[in-house]
Every structure is written in structure tokens, then in C-alpha cells.
Chain A
């Protein structure tokens, strides 16, 4: 029995190491690249020979500053607003779907599903033309609106699944015990619903943060261009220099917050993604 458990332990250790390598190796690779001296990029080694922060200086205070910092501001602002609007609208819709009985529930869920499988590129051509005519091209609003097509459907599905599991009878129970309906809502329902809303916001934010097609098609300057699109526009310090180091450093900067969020909230994200997806 004891030998068996040691073998199991070793087995699990090996599996864990393999999974960690799978998940983290590409990240480690770009982190390592971001610390390489531009002159040592071509040595063919994984780790930098000399560790340097040159690339970070370039994107934060140097020549790539005007490209990177505005795009960071755009990405954060646009993704947060698109997430906020989607979560507010989806919370109302999911509440109705979970608690009320009315025709059209199915229609709304089916529409959300349909929108979520829509090929984004199909929407880009007409939006590009329309936005140019009505002045939304290269503006925050011009990205926030199409981002809703990404964030809203998944928010509705995830929240509807969360809300279905809330024991709504507790609200009445609290009212029976003498709470006003507002108190019952605030003290009983809000704490039960908040984790679901928060998780949904996190997932919706990841999706908006990840967008590239809209970002590169509907913007042309740093007025609204988000980070993923800006990365594609990086150029080297001189025309003979590849922007490899600067792009890697910028990539690491936008990846760190996501990795931290994932580490803090992995349990919630997993339950959010799977509840919205496959659950009876």
C-alpha cells in the first residue's frame, strides 16, 4: 500500500510539472525575451545572457512610449466600460430569465447564443463604413459598441446560470421575519448574487481585453487603438532593428494583471465558465 502511494505521488508530481510546463512555458519564453538586450536577441538562447530592463524603459519612458501608454489607457478604459454596460444589461436580463415566467425567454437565450458564434470579421466591414460616415471611427464609443457583441452574450448565459441557483425563497423568508423588501433584497439577495456578477464581469473583461479584430479595423491612431492592435504597429528604434524586445516587454506588462486575476479568482472563473456552458 505504501509503495503504491509513493508511486502515485511521483505520478502526480510528474503530471503537475508537465501541466505547469505546458501552461507557463510560452509565457516564460516571452518574459525571458523581454529582458534580452536588443544586440543579444539572436544568440538563440532561452534565457538572456545579460539581463536588462532596456525594453521596459523603451515602452514606458522611451521612444515607444507614445505608442504603448495611450493604447494601454484605451484598452483599460474601453474594456472596463464595455464590461460594465454588458454586466448591467445582462444582470437585468438574467434576473428576468431566472425568476420570471414569460414568453421570449428562450428567444433571448437563443439570440445570445447566436450572437456569440457570430464571425466578428463579418461585422467589421459594415461597421467600418458606417463608423466613418457618422464619426465613430477611431473613437472609444466606436469600439465599446461592437465590444458589446462579444461581452453581452456570454454575460447573459453565465449570469442566467448563476441566478438559477440562488435560493430566491430566502428573500420572502427575510420579509416574513420583518425585513422590508429593500432590506431583503440588499441583505439577502445582493450578497448571494454578487459573486456571480463579479465572475461574469471578470470573464467579460478578459474577452474585451483580448479583442484584436475590432481594435485593428476600427481605429487608426492612438486616440482609441487598444494594446493588441498597437503591438502590431510597434517598430524598432531604428529601421534596422526589430521591435522584438519592446513588443515582448509590452506583452508582459499587459499579461501580468491577467495572470494575477487568474491566480486570485481561479475557482470563480472555472465555475463561471462551466456553469454558463454545460450544466443541466
Chain B
């Protein structure tokens, strides 16, 4: 039957198979029903916990609405959005978020690839040890990582200033969390430490898919180590790299924990997530906070759109769905 469908002789026949389907429709229907019965609950729960809140946020964002004065709720159209995007605090937060995202993704890509190569090439006796070590940051709570890095650099309880006093610019008087640049440095360092294992595992899976014959052939032809890496290995794992970059970019764009713990947004280190949190949970301005939430959501969609359209990242294909 499938052969018939696959080779339609006329246009009419090409359309026909749809009508022909009833032949096996009872079984197909039963299978579909069972499929949805099994997968339906998970699907519905996923939609309920995300689509409903985001729709509610879209609705709330059109109102002047703060919980401290709930009776003054009034429809104001897009005024919340205008207020948000013309606010220098928002633009500053957007800039800081993008800087954190770009720097951490670039460093993590290089570092993660190096770690992936190490795991890929490691002799069997070392492989388990290396993998365990690399997984430790992955398993550690982000807040714990934030405190570990914070205390290490802290002017009072830290040791970094004492250890690295010989580096120009670092002395026991340096308060890392008193200005923007040094604060962001520590925040990004903690972020990189915690999430590089994830990116390196994605890249490790990509490395495993590079056909080893290709590399061997290049070696026989006299290609240097660097040539093999840049001409053979990297082009062959482009899909894995793209997926890893996109996932980490989206993740880094949502950064919250590290900033909250280390600076709580002091010295111009506020990021978008923290701004949304402070507006709605801190100041109880639901209308304005919802507008920031929706903007944050739209940014994520935009990043995805750019990645998929411009860089042709095939998420479904790369994530196992053929």
C-alpha cells in the first residue's frame, strides 16, 4: 500500500491516497487515540504551565496595575511597553544581558570544545575520572556556585586578592563588587564555570559523529593537527556546535541567580530577568513587570528566529527527531 502512495501516476492519484486512508483508518485511528491518551497529559501540563501564564502576562501588560493599589487598575494600551523601552534602566539591563550572553557563550564554546576534545581522546582509564570531574559543576546549584565565586573574590573573606596581588591592577584593596567591569567579570566567570560542562557534553556528542576515516585520511595526506581540526572536524560538527551555541545563548540570556547573589544589580549590573523580578515581585507593579516579562519572552523568540532562519540551526533534526 505504501508503494502505491509513493508512486502516484497522476495528480488525481497523488491526492487520492488521503481519501484512500480509511482502509487502514481504524487501526490508525486507534493508534492515534492511544498515542494522544499516553502523550496527552504531558502535552496539556506543559501548555498549562507556560502558555496560560504568558497569555496572562500579555493581558496584564496592557493595564496600569499595581498590587499596592489594585482598585486603580486601568487599561492603558501599550503605554507600559513605551515606558519600559524608553527607560534607561531597561536599556542598560538589556546591554548588560547581551554582554554577559556574548562573552560567556564565546568563552564556553572554546573551553567546552577543549574539554570535549580531552574527554574524546582520553585513554579509557582516565575517561571516567575526567567525566566525573567535568560533571561536578553541572550538578552544583547555581546559587552555590555564585557564593563560592563571590566569597573567593570578596574583599574581606576572599583569597584572590592575596594570591594574585602580583597581577597589575589587583591588590588587597581591590573591591571586585564595587564597579561594573570587575563585578561582571566574576559573574561571568561563575556562569562559565557552571555551564561549560553542558556545552562540552553537547560538543562531545558532536565529536563522536565525525567519521574517524576522514580524519585519518587527512592525516595520511599530511594535514597538520590544526588543519585537521579546522578543515575536517569542525565543519563536520557544525550542527552540534550551532545547537550548543543556541541553547547556551538562550540560557545565558535568562541569567538571574549569579547576578542576584553577587551584586543584586548594584553598579549597573542589573540584567533583564532581575529587572522583571524587581518590578513585579519587589515593587508589585504587575502591569509594568508583565510588560518586561513579555519583552523578555519576545527576545528569546527573536534569538531563536535568528538562529533558525539565519544560521539554519536544525533543532529538531539535531535533537534526535529525524
Contacts and interface: CB of A to CB of B under 8 A. Distances in A.
Chain A interface, >50% SS class = helix
B260 to A, nearest CB: 7
A130 B56 contact: yes
B42 A279 contact: no
A148 B57 contact: no
B161 A277 contact: no
A224 to B, nearest CB: 15
B98 to A, nearest CB: 14
Contacts of B209: 278, 280
Interface in B237-258: 239-240, 243-244, 247, 250, 253-254, 256-257
Interface in B29-65: 31-32, 34-36, 38-39, 41-43, 45-47, 49-50, 52-54, 56-57, 60
A247 B206 CA distance: 39
A111 B139 CA distance: 26
Interface string B247-277: 1001001101100110000000000110011
A278 B240 contact: yes
B161 A44 contact: yes
Interface string A197-221: 0000000001001101100110000
A85 to B, nearest CB: 8
A109 interface: yes
Interface in A205-248: 206, 209-210, 212-213, 216-217, 227-228, 231-232, 242, 244, 247-248
Interface in A13-29: 15-16, 19-20, 22-24, 26-27, 29
A124 interface: yes
A278 B49 contact: no
A206 B141 CA distance: 8
B256 A278 contact: no
Interface stretch (B84-92, B100-108, B219-227, B312-320): B312-320
A177 interface: no
Chain B interface SS verdict (over half): helix
Contacts of A258: 139-141
Contact of B256 (A145, A161, A212, A280): A212
A118 B301 CA distance: 9
Interface in A243-280: 244, 247-248, 251, 254-255, 258-259, 261-263, 266-267, 269-270, 273-280
Contacts, number: 321
Contacts of B154: 244
Contacts of B118: 15, 19
Given A122-B296, A156-B42, A232 B143 contact: yes
A33 interface: yes
B45 A89 contact: yes
Interface stretch (B3-11, B123-131, B174-182): B123-131
B316 A280 contact: no
A254 B296 contact: no
A279 B157 CA distance: 45
Contact of A109 (B57, B137, B202, B316): B316
A280 B260 contact: no
Nearest to A130: B56
Contacts of A29: 148, 151-152, 159
Which one of B133, B286, B299 has the greatest number of beta carbons of chain A within 10 Å?
Answer: B133
Given A126-B57, A277-B319, A115 B46 contact: yes
A42 B38 contact: no
Contact of A276 (B34, B130, B320): B320
Contacts of A111: 43, 46-47
B14 interface: no
B159 A105 contact: no
A266 B132 contact: yes
B131 A267 contact: yes
Given A93-B43, A121-B273, A209-B141, A149 B50 contact: yes
A268 to B, nearest CB: 11
Contacts of A263: 132
Interface stretch (A49-57, A61-69, A96-104, A185-193): A96-104
Contacts of B123: 12
6 contacts: A96-B34, A115-B50, A152-B45, A216-B281, A217-B277, A280-B322
The 3 lowest CB-CB distance pairs between A and B, nearest first, are: A102-B35, A274-B205, A96-B38
